[in-house]
Structure 1
C-alpha cells in the first residue's frame, strides 16, 4: 500500500509540474501578444517605417496612419494571373494625399505562367516614377499545382516575371520572401534583388544575406485601422 501511495504522489507531482509549465507558456504567449499590440522597432535604429496594407486590414485612415509614424505604405495590388484588389486605385490616391510614399505588392503564384501574371500586374500598377520599387510576395509553393512544376521551373518563371514587371516599372523589384519559400527554392542566393523578410520582433536572418525591408510586427494595433497592421521598417 505504501508503494502505491508513493507512485500516486510521484504521478501527481509530474502532473502539477506539467500544468505549471503549460501555464507559464500560456502566460508568456499572452504577454508577447499584448506587447506586440503596440510595439514598433526604435526610431533611432530604424528611422524609416511604414506598413503593408491589403484587404485583411479593411478600411484604413491614411492620415491616422501617417500620424502614428508611417513614412510609406505598400499596398497589396495584384495576385496570380487574374486577382486584383479593387480598392488599390483609391488606396493609392488616398495614401498619396496623406503624404505617404507608396509601393505595390504582387502575390506570386508558381502555378501560373509568368507572362499571365506580369500582364495582370502591369494592368493594375501604373508606370509611375513616384512609386516605390514593386514587391513580389513569395510564399506559395508549387506542391499543389494542378500541373506539376519543378523547382527549376519555379526559378525560371519567377525570373521571367521579374524581368517583365521591371521593364514596366523601370526599377528592380523587391523579393518579399517567406521562410518556407526560401527554404524550398533558395532564391535569395540565385536572384540578385533586395529582400523583404518577416520576423515577429526579431530581425530575420533566414535568407543568408541582409534584408532591405523587415516586417517586424504583423499585429500592431493603431487608430488607423480596426484590424491589426503589418508594420515594416527599412534597413538604415
Structure 2
C-alpha cells in the first residue's frame, strides 16, 4: 500500500453524495461482482479528487462506485481528516503494524483523528514471512485496540522483494496456512473476520482465490478487477496509488467500496467490531 509520483491530473467531475450517517439497514448484503465494462450511473470521482498518474478506465469505472475511501500510513504524514471527510472520504484503513516488531509511529494519531472526524476506520497489518503468524497476530493485537464500531482489521499480503530484512517466499500451501492462523487469531480477538488485501502477483502465486470465508480488498491500478482477478468477488478495490484529495499533502491510495451507500451502511453494521 505504497504511493508513487506521477504527472497528470484528472478533470474534476460532479460531486457525489457522501455516505450517510452509519446505522443498521437490514441484513448483510450479498457479494457483488465487478462489472465487465461501461454501466449506467457513471458520475466521476468526488469533487476535488484527482490523480497524478490516472488510468483511462473504459466506461468510467471505478468512478461509478459512490463510496470512496483511503488507506494511510506514516508516509501520508498527518492528513487533515475533517477536510478529507468533507471532501468525500467515507472510510479509511490505517497502517498499524508489520511483521512482528514494527509499528507505524502515526497509527495512534490517525486512529484518534479519523474517529474525531467521523470517518469509519480500521487497521491493517503488513505480513512478513520471517515471523510466525502467531507472533505477528500478537503484535497487531498489542497495538490495535478492540474499539466497538471500528471496521474489520485487514491482513496485507504481498511479496517484499526490496525488504532489507525479509524476502522469504514460502510455498503457497505454507503461505495460506500462515494466513489462516493469523486471521483466526484476529477473528477471535476482535469478534469479526478480517479482510484480505492483496495484489495480482501474490494472488496468483499463492492461489489466494481458493481462500474461502474471507472478503477481499484487491489492488489493480492499470486494469479492471475483472481482468486482474477474473470471477473473484470483492469488497474493496484499490484503484490508484497516486490519488490526490483535500486534506492530504501529496499523493495517496484511493479505494472504492463495492456497492451503494445503503449497502455500505448495512455491511458496516454486519461486520464492525463489537
Deviation larger for 159-168 or 43-52: 43-52
Secondary structure of 1:160's partner?
Answer: helix
**Bigger Rg, which one:** 1
* Match of residue 31 from structure 2: none
Does structure 1 retain, via aligned residues, the 8 Å contact 2:62–2:256? no
Deviation for aligned residue 1:229: 1.7
* Match of residue 176 from structure 2: 155
* Match of residue 207 from structure 1: 229
**Is it true that 1:52 corresponds to 2:27 in the alignment?**
no
Does structure 2 retain, via aligned residues, the 8 Å contact 1:78–1:107? yes
List per-residue Cα deviations over 1:113-135 (Å, max 9, x = no partner).
01110010100111122110111
CA distance in 2, matches of 1:146, 1:75: 24
* Match of residue 171 from structure 1: 192
TM-score, length basis structure 1? 0.78
* Match of residue 52 from structure 2: 37
Secondary structure of 2:9's partner?
Answer: helix
Q: How does 1:67-82 map to 2 (within 5 A)?
A: 67-82=86-101
Does structure 2 retain, via aligned residues, the 8 Å contact 1:48–1:233? yes
Describe the shift of the 1:146–1:85 C-alpha distance in structure 2 as closer, same or farther (beyond 3 A). closer
Does structure 2 retain, via aligned residues, the 8 Å contact 1:105–1:136? yes
List per-residue Cα deviations over 1:165-193 (Å, max 9, x = no partner).
11111111111011111111011213321
Deviation for aligned residue 1:94: 0.7
Does structure 2 retain, via aligned residues, the 8 Å contact 1:111–1:149? no
* Match of residue 10 from structure 1: none
Deviation larger for 37-46 or 160-169: 37-46
Deviation larger for 122-131 or 202-211: 202-211
Secondary structure of 1:127's partner?
Answer: coil
List per-residue Cα deviations over 1:6-52 (Å, max 9, x = no partner).
xxxxxxxxxxxxxxxxxxxxxxx95xx43333979779832221100
Query: Which has more helix, going by share of residues?
Result: 1
* Match of residue 219 from structure 1: 242
Segments of 5+ residues of structure 1 without an aligned counterpart are 1-28
Describe the shift of the 1:147–1:64 C-alpha distance in structure 2 as closer, same or farther (beyond 3 A). closer
Deviation larger for 159-168 or 39-48: 39-48
Deviation for aligned residue 1:203: 3.0
Q: How does 1:83-162 map to 2 (within 5 A)?
A: 83-140=102-159, 149-162=170-183
* Match of residue 253 from structure 2: 230
Secondary structure of 1:104's partner?
Answer: strand
Describe the shift of the 1:44–1:60 C-alpha distance in structure 2 as closer, same or farther (beyond 3 A). closer
Question: How many residue pairs get matched?
Answer: 206
List per-residue Cα deviations over 1:127-161 (Å, max 9, x = no partner).
1221101111111269x958773322111111111
Describe the shift of the 1:43–1:175 C-alpha distance in structure 2 as closer, same or farther (beyond 3 A). closer
Does structure 1 retain, via aligned residues, the 8 Å contact 2:220–2:240? yes
Higher relative contact order (CA 8 A, sep 6+): 2
Does structure 2 retain, via aligned residues, the 8 Å contact 1:221–1:228? yes
